[in-house]
């Protein structure tokens, strides 16, 4: 089965989420959990951004033994020097360089012609290679870059010594068919492409980050970049837990797998949410509180008969104890009876029927009916009879 490398950027792009600021201890705690989760690569920060970030990256670099640790740099010598400093003591260091390539960025941000972009990036990659065996190069805003220029940039990066070329859809603009096609075109047209790994880095502005990353896998990407819980700039990045579970659940379709320890997903998600302060929405795929919760009577009845009727993966796979059957106004008699048994009540069919009627009255007034509500309803009923 083809292995897809997982490049986690929770501590860099994830930390760029508005309002998030992790101190050194928090970065370290998350990095150690990412190591337990089994990610291949950890982008620990952007050392040139601040002395605090440099120190945070260095703490991660020294602590992590089973993943490559990466520092981000613009295509400038001072930034590269900061990463050299930050990655001292790393077991498996890697530098991540970027320079924008799209017409919009060239014109308004960089004020550079294509040739200057090529020369600046090449000079930076060659400088970085003096210090690092592993250099990843990202043509920022690749998603809005002319395809023939992107091929030229990729060929230049390979000649200059990049070991990974990462394709960022920086502003989350592309759809899966367009994003997948970039990988197909690069694979078919760039000389030397087989010497490097191709990587996908997607943003979720139009809600397509995971779909785009998976389209890249289908078209030959070797690495997916993303964050835990999908946190990141604006609408966030590809959710790594979504990619890992999509590949796992649909091996028949993708024929590719990550080496993540899936049973660590829930714990990692909770830790990242706690330390970043970014609450995971209830309906978030894989790690939302409702991802394995069932409310309607028809679904609950199906779940009680056979779980695969309404679950395509089990909560145990990601390290959760079990699915939950939430009692609410859509719930049916089957789940209600099971709940009574769980709570230790042995009632006759007639008693269950009466209690179920009362439960529906309560459920009409409340969103979730708790165990306490059920106990109160049964005790009241038993006192009445
Ligand atoms: O989204 C982006 O373009 C980035 C680059 C630095 C890779 O995060
Ligand atoms: Zn990004």
- Left, alpha or beta for 168 (phi > 0: left; psi -120 to 50: alpha)? beta
Residue 193 is encoded by which pair of tokens? 């492409």
206-237 pLDDT, tens per residue? 999 999 999 999 999 999 999 999 999 999 99
For residue 384, the model assigns a pLDDT of 55
Q: How far is residue 212's CA from residue 175's CA, in Å, rounded to a whole number? A: 6
Residue by residue, DSSP assigns 56-117 as HHHHHHHH-SSSEEEEEEESSHHHHHHHHHHTTT-SSEEEEEEEE-SHHIIIIII---HHHH
18-38, pLDDT tens digit by residue? 999 999 999 999 999 999 999
**Helix (H) or strand (E) run with residue 118 in it:** helix 114-128
Q: How far is the CA of 100 from the centre of ligand 1 (A)?
A: 9
SS3 253: helix
ipTM of the complex: 0.99
What SS3 state is found at 196?
A: coil
13 labelled as ligand-binding? yes
Placement of tokens 């139009």 in the chain: 206
- Six-digit token pair at 106? 């060239």
Contact 257, 251 (CB under 8 A): yes
Task: Give dist(CA 238, CA 261) in Å, integer.
Answer: 18
Which of the 8 DSSP states describes residue 133? S
Mean pLDDT of the chain: 96
How far apart (Å, rounded) are the C-alpha atoms in residues 281 and 154?
38
**Residues 150 and 142: beta-carbon distance below 8 Å:** yes
How confident is the model at residue 367, as a pLDDT?
A: 83
Binned at pLDDT 50, 70 and 90, residue 382 comes out as: low
Examine the pLDDT at 169 and tell me if it is beyond 80.
yes
| 140 Cα: distance to centroid of ligand 1 (angstroms) | 6
Query: Ligand 1 centroid vs 333 CA: distance in angstroms?
Result: 51
Neighbours of 170 (CB within 10 A): 23
pLDDT at 80: 98
> Would you give the DSSP letter of residue 344?
T
CA-proximal residue: ligand 1, atom 5 (nearest) = 140
No. of H helices and E strands in the chain?
A: 15, 12
What is the Å distance from ligand 1's center to 138 Cα? 7
Determine the distance from the C-alpha atom of residue 189 to the mean position of all C-alpha atoms in its chain, rounded to a whole number: 30
DSSP-assigned letter for residue 145? S
Q: Is the pLDDT of residue 355 over 60?
A: yes
pTM beyond cutoff 0.80? yes
Torsion angle of alpha carbons 64, 133, 165, 87, nearest 10°? 40
Q: Is the pLDDT of residue 380 over 80?
A: no
Closest-CA residue, ligand 1 atom 1, reads 170
97, 99, 138, 232, best to mutate for ligand 1 pocket (most atoms within 8 Å of CB): 138
**Residue 379's pLDDT band (cuts 50, 70, 90):** confident
Q: Which of 201, 205, 225, 232 to mutate to test the pocket of ligand 1 (most atoms within 8 A of CB)?
A: 201
Q: How far is the CA of 109 from the centre of ligand 2 (A)?
A: 17
Question: What residues flank ligand 1, with Cβ below 6 Å?
Answer: 13, 98, 138, 140, 168, 170, 201, 203
Ligand 1 atom closest to Cα of 168?
3
For ligand 1, atom 6, name the residue with the nearest CA: 98
């Amino acid at each position: 089965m083809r292995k897809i490398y997982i490049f986690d950027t929770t501590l860099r792009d994830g930390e760029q989420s508005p309002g998030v600021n992790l101190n050194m201890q928090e970065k370290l705690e998350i990095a150690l959990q990412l190591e337990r989760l089994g990610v291949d690569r950890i982008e620990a920060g952007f050392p040139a951004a601040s002395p605090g970030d440099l120190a945070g990256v260095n703490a991660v670099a020294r602590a992590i033994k089973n993943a490559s640790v990466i520092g981000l740099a613009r295509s400038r010598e001072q930034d590269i020097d900061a990463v050299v400093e930050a990655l001292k003591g790393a077991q498996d260091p890697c530098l991540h360089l970027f320079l924008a390539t799209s017409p919009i960025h060239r014109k308004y941000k960089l004020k550079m012609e294509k040739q200057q972009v090529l020369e600046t990036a090449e000079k930076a990659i060659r400088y970085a290679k003096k210090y690092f065996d592993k250099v990843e190069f990202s043509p920022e805003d690749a998603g809005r870059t002319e395809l023939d220029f992107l091929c030229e940039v990729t060929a230049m990066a390979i000649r200059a010594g990049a070991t990974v070329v990462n394709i960022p859809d920086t502003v989350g603009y592309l759809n899966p068919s367009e994003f997948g096609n970039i990988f197909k075109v690069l694979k078919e047209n760039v000389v030397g492409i087989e010497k490097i790994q191709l990587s996908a880095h997607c943003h979720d502005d139009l809600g397509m980050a995971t779909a785009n990353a998976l389209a890249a896998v289908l078209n030959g990407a070797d690495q997916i970049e993303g964050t835990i819980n999908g946190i990141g700039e604006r609408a966030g990045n590809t959710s790594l837990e979504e990619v890992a579970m999509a590949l796992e659940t649909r091996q028949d379709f993708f024929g590719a797998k990550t080496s993540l320890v899936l049973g660590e997903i829930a714990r990692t998600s909770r830790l990242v949410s706690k330390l970043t302060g970014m609450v995971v929405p209830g309906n978030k795929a894989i790690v939302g509180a409702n991802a394995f919760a069932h409310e309607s009577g028809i679904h609950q009845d199906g779940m009680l008969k056979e779980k695969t009727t309404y679950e395509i993966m089990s909560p145990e796979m990601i390290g959760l104890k079990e699915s939950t059957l939430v009692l609410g106004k859509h719930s049916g008699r089957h789940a209600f009876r099971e709940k009574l048994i769980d709570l230790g009540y042995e009632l006759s069919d007639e008693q269950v029927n009466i209690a179920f009627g009362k439960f529906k009255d309560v459920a009409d007034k409340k969103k979730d009916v708790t165990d306490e509500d059920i106990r109160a309803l049964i005790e009241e009923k038993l006192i009445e009879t």
